[in-house]
Structure 1
Amino acid sequence: MRGLRAARGTLTARRALLVVCALLLTQLGSLIAPAYACGCGAMVPARQSSMGVDRETSVVRWDGATEQIVMRFTVNGDAPEAAWIMPVPSRADVELGDPDLFGELDDLTAPVERTRYYFWPRDGDWPFSSGGEGASAGAPPPVDGAPEVGVVGRERLGDFDVARLTATDPDALRDWLDANGFDLPADLASGLQPYVDQEWEYVAVRLAPEEKGAALGGTLDPLRLSFESDRLIYPMRLSRLADEPQSLGLYVLADHRMEPRDAIGGDAPEVRFAGRVSSADAPALGELTDGKAEEKPLFLTAIDQYFSQPERIDADHELRATASDTTYQQVYYEDELRMFAGVPAWLAAVGAAFVVLVLLVVGAAVLRVRRRVV
């Protein structure tokens, strides 16, 4: 009987060990080749490596006929290379962007810090002893018979290997990408089908450092795409391939304040800045406007959006002008106790009131004494 119990205990221990090993292998597999989707398309690292996109920011400029998108990625991991693809509605030109553009726009859209003074002491002020911090608040809100895959151009731009393609079949496009070193998700063909049906073109980018053996990391050089479009569209549909929640940061430059038509499956887009800017405020804007931003300031709208369930993304972002060009900027308030001559104003006021009261009492007493004497 004891031998039977021991055998059962050994079998149970083995099963538990197998379960633990299976879970470890599952986690290891997720680390070896995870698929990352960006706001602009699908990105995956090379096999047997890992890479994460810490931040993806895009600047979109639209003048009613031509759209320009400047993208910048901040990545981490040990991947020597990675690839992503971005659909575009028409033939695109690709070149490196100006890295100063993002810093300038960050400065322009930074929240304004203001000080609010209060009179009576709060928690943390003398004579109260417990700690506390000031409150902060923000203000509200192909042609028939053409090849299945056509290569328009292929060039090397810094750490980017860029291919501009046309395709009439999503599976053929996926096969071409795989054969030419663009390692992308196996289910990419299903995600590309709507773009193939609309006869869009594609910009495939392989990120491979020129220095052999170097891993992708830090902030990469921005990439700038230009193409004709009578609508302001930011491709997002491929982000539904992501396994993890996604965040999107957009700087939109146009003649008017812009807003997404709908949430396309994510949280409600949040505006953190809206206002006119010129190349005098941000010299790098001249790259996107041919110097016209100084003559006629553009309206800059900074939009953030979070996608907790990427599989729910059902369309590309189409942006439209709002009913009015209302300006907006976030404001953070720092509350401070009002001071007077280095002394809390409330204490000075109470002290002054006490002195006045004492003087009145003394004066009244002196008057009574004088009357008695008289």
Structure 2
Amino acid sequence: MSRVVSSRLVISRVVTIVIALLALQLGGQLVAPAYACGCGAMIPDKAERIGVDREESAVHWDGGTETVVMRFRVHGNARRAAWIMPVPARADVSLGDPALFDALDRLTEPEQRDRFHFWPRGGDWPFSDAYGDGAGAAAPPGAGAGVGVVGRERLGPFDVARLTATDPDALGDWLRANGFELPERLTGALRPYVDRKWEYVAVRLAPEEKDAVLYGELTPLRIAFASPELVYPMRLSRLAKNAQTLGLHILADHRMEPRSPIGGDSPEVTFAGRIDTPEGAVAGLAGSGPTYLTALEQRFPRPERIDDDHHLRAVADTPYREVVYTERLLTFGDGIPVWLATVGGGALLATAATLLAVRASRRRSDPIPGVRSPA
């Protein structure tokens, strides 16, 4: 019997591995271009593809200056790509600290708790095999009418241009002249920012190694600008072909939440709490004084419905932390299930009671010494 169970487990594991490999292979074949993601537009060179698995951003706002640190996790076959982010004021651009997001993940990780159950479940004995739960940039060409080049510099793998524009078509022409393949739809999407006289950070992403492709986690980019309100540009993401996911960490004086879902699912707060003494990379972004950290997750199943940027506001400083429960079978001693001891103990008690009753019955039926039974 044990050999049959073992064979079934081996076959089950092999099937699981095969399915996983097939899923990975299909996933690699079905990568679609992502022309937009998060607060900027990701544009690969012609005939190349780039997919953004996830965009993570950490934002610090002190009431007058906003600093955004962004990290992309990408895949595809693109050797170069462009990324464009509208900003409401003149921006300073530098490389971000790669340790920042790991530090934020540690601060906001869910609380782990055990939750015990009495009766065995699918992963518990006797349904499993054992006790337990089983488980340097080139000089820019002439900008042309309608576009101003504020500055251009090389930052690690990034070629960064800070631009102004009074005409979205002229901005598109400048990007194309600098080797960026620009989807025609993006030109129209930039018009609301041009009308509000925003500026732009255009980033050319190119691996420093020859013929290397953009893959995995890219070096974070840090962008700081003046802003009287906390705003996170999202409008360009309406051009994305696939569902978008945004992870946002906000460091400010109070808990901050978006004013509206702007066409996506309702934003979900996954952490909210005061950090009394920021350290390391977090202190490098928010300073060493007390700050309030809010972590948000949001999905955009239909990116074309995105109709605005995220405008965030202060709300009540109610702390929140996710709790993740691990289901465990209630045991005692050396992992003996309580239900087994209880059921076994009940059976022993029932047996003992039966024996006592039989014994008492026999005593009542035995003749009393010295007393003769009637004839």
Q: Paired residue for 2:333?
A: 341
Distance in 2 separating the partners of 1:198 and 1:278: 37
1:290-305 to 2 correspondences below 5 Å: 290-292=287-289, 296=290, 298-305=291-298
**Aligned-partner SS, 2:190:** helix
Confirm whether residue 311 of structure 1 aligns to residue 270 of structure 2: no
Deviation, structure 1 residue 127: 4.9
Conservation of the 8 A alpha-carbon contact between 1:116 and 1:333: yes
Distance in 2 separating the partners of 1:105 and 1:38: 21
* Range that drifts further, 94-103 or 108-117: 108-117
Deviation, structure 1 residue 291: 2.6
Conservation of the 8 A alpha-carbon contact between 2:32 and 2:241: no
Conservation of the 8 A alpha-carbon contact between 1:58 and 1:249: yes
Question: Which amino acid in structure 2 is aligned with residue 151 of structure 1?
Answer: V
Q: Paired residue for 1:332?
A: 324
Distance in 1 separating the partners of 2:127 and 2:176: 68
1:183 to 173, 181, 184: 181
Distance in 1 separating the partners of 2:157 and 2:125: 58
Distance in 2 separating the partners of 1:214 and 1:125: 48
Distance in 2 separating the partners of 1:130 and 1:32: 40
Question: Which amino acid in structure 1 is aligned with residue 285 of structure 2?
Answer: L
Q: Paired residue for 2:6?
A: none
* Range that drifts further, 41-50 or 360-369: 360-369
Conservation of the 8 A alpha-carbon contact between 1:58 and 1:251: yes
Confirm whether residue 86 of structure 1 aligns to residue 85 of structure 2: yes
**Quick one: percent identity of the two aligned structures?**
60
Q: Paired residue for 1:138?
A: none
Q: 1:129 to 1:205 in 2, by over 3 A?
A: closer
Aligned length: 329
Deviation, structure 1 residue 254: 1.2
Conservation of the 8 A alpha-carbon contact between 2:231 and 2:310: yes
Question: What RMSD over aligned residues (CA atoms) do the two structures have, in Å?
Answer: 3.2
Q: Paired residue for 2:139?
A: none
Tell me, which stretches of 5 or more residues in structure 2 are unaligned?
A: 1-28, 134-143, 370-375
Q: 1:350 to 1:77 in 2, by over 3 A?
A: closer
Deviation, structure 1 residue 36: 2.0
Q: Paired residue for 1:59?
A: 58
1:21-170 to 2 correspondences below 5 Å: 34-127=33-126, 148-170=146-168
Q: 1:258 to 1:346 in 2, by over 3 A?
A: same
Q: 1:350 to 1:105 in 2, by over 3 A?
A: same
**Aligned-partner SS, 1:102:** helix
Distance in 2 separating the partners of 1:82 and 1:125: 50
Q: Paired residue for 1:240?
A: 238
Deviation, structure 1 residue 181: 2.8
Distance in 1 separating the partners of 2:83 and 2:124: 55
**Aligned-partner SS, 2:179:** coil
Confirm whether residue 212 of structure 1 aligns to residue 214 of structure 2: no
Tell me, which stretches of 5 or more residues in structure 1 are unaligned?
A: 1-29, 135-145
Q: 1:348 to 1:315 in 2, by over 3 A?
A: same
Q: 1:313 to 1:340 in 2, by over 3 A?
A: same
TM-score for both structures, normalised by structure 1: 0.79
1:221 to 202, 216, 219: 219
Question: Which amino acid in structure 2 is aligned with residue 199 of structure 1?
Answer: K
TM-score for both structures, normalised by structure 2: 0.79
* Range that drifts further, 81-90 or 204-213: 204-213
Question: Which amino acid in structure 2 is aligned with residue 155 of structure 1?
Answer: E
